[in-house]
Structure 1
Amino acid sequence: MPIPVMPLVSVGDITVMPGVIVTPSGQMPLRGAAWNAVDNSRIETKMPAYAIVLAILLFPVCFIGLFFLLIKETQVSGYVEVTVASGGRYHQTLIPVLERETFAEVMSRVSYARSVSL
């Protein structure tokens, strides 16, 4: 029975094993692989609907209702595109961004993959 090999790092559907990169489109050699990551996410700040409703309802009673217009919600959306090329093969994966820290986490994984690809 062969000894299972643990992956070094995984980025989306790209798995880095000792000596080889495993992707859904096939395997590539680890040595000399070129890695790239692009942040295609965006952060939107907008006023929620309940803040507008409360401001309208409370404005005639007192001007404090205008303070509800200061409420903001932040939404993060988009994806991080990670590509790897090695041995004449190329693979791209898109990782959805659900929070601000996602790009930093993906970049740390890609940096580690770059360091073991040397």
Structure 2
Amino acid sequence: MNQYPSPGPGDPWQQPRQDPSTGWNPAPEYGALEPYGSPGGGYVPAPTGPTAGSVEEPLLSTIGDIAITRNTVITPGGRFPIRGTVWTVTDMSRTETDIPVWAIIVAILFIWTCLLSLLFLLVKDRKTTGHIQVTVQGHGHYHAASIPAAHPGLGAQINQQVNYARSLAA
């Protein structure tokens, strides 16, 4: 008994070969995609340079998904002027320090051979959990970005970036 279906015209080995003049087999009857820039169309990306009616400014800073230029705040919800915006930072992260389990086990196992094994109890493990929330509001817009806390110094770094944004907003 054959467990595989019989080959049909839709299988890759049954499709016609590439056209030597263009190097591409559009195979419209199979719904194949056409490459970018092909005569039949294809994906056309959005322009990246200065577009008609707007002048692109360089990004000065990004805080989570909030981008800042000299005159504009860019969020997923839209763009608005940075002048008159109100910035808020809420640090909801915490750093816990504890003795790792392996250090306790090693100290117990080797306590009878040498009292120096108690030095393993001085080993500390630091874990930072939580997130830091940055909100910006102004000109009828409100956006909150939540940034996961990766290390203890991230809160100070984000505070510095928000203070820079506040200086641009003044």
TM-score, normalised on structure 2? 0.64
* Distance apart, 1:112 and its partner CA: 0.6
Distance 2:68 2:159 in 1: 15
Higher relative contact order (CA 8 A, sep 6+): 1
Distance across 2 between alignment mates of 1:19 and 1:93:
20
Max radius of gyration: which structure? 2
Which stretches in structure 1 are left out of the alignment for 5+ residues? none
Q: 1:80 aligns with which of 119, 132, 144?
A: 132
Q: CA deviation at 1:63?
A: 2.8
Does residue 17 of structure 1 match 2:69? yes
Query: In structure 2, how many angstroms separate the alpha carbons of the residues matched to 1:4 and 1:25?
Result: 18
Identical-residue share of aligned pairs (%):
37
Q: Which moved more, 1:70-79 or 1:42-51?
A: 70-79
- Find the aligned partners of 1:70 and 1:9 in 2 and give their Cα distance: 40
Displacement of 1:10 in angstroms is: 1.2
Of 119, 142, 146, 1:94 maps to: 146
Q: Secondary structure at the match of 2:113?
A: coil
RMSD (Å) for aligned C-alpha atoms? 1.5
Aligned length: 118
Q: 2:121 aligns with which of 41, 49, 69?
A: 69
Q: Distance in 2 between matches of 1:31 and 1:78?
A: 31
How far, CA to CA, are the matches of 1:23 and 1:54 in structure 2?
51
More helix by share: 1
Mean Cα displacement is larger for which, 45-54 or 60-69? 60-69
